[in-house]
Structure 1
Amino acid sequence: MSFLEFVEGPLWYVAAAVFLIGALWKVVGILRLGRKADLSIPRASATAGAVRSQFLHFVPHGGFPFRTIYHLTAGYMFHIGLFLVLLFGAPHVIFAQNNIYALPWVTMPYWGFVVAAQVAFAGLILLWVRRISDPVMIKISDKDDHIGSWLTFLVMLSGCMALQESVVALRATHMLLVDMWLIYFPFSRLMHAVTFMFSRGYTGAFFGRRGIVP
Structure 2
Amino acid sequence: MNFIKILLSEKLKNKNPMLDLFGADRKVLQIACQDLTNYLKVHWNLIGKEANEWELVDKLEEFYQNEPKELEEFLDLWTSMWLKKWGERVKLLIGKEDSTKWDKVTKTLSKAEPLWRKLPNRKELQEVVISTLVKNGEICGTSILAENLLKMELGENEKNYSTEREQTLNLVNNTLRRARELSRSRGPLIFVRIDKGYYNNFL
TM-score if structure 1 supplies the norm length? 0.29
Is the strand fraction higher in 1 or 2? 2
From the CA coordinates, give the structure whose radius of gyration is larger: 1
**Which structure shows the higher helix fraction?**
1
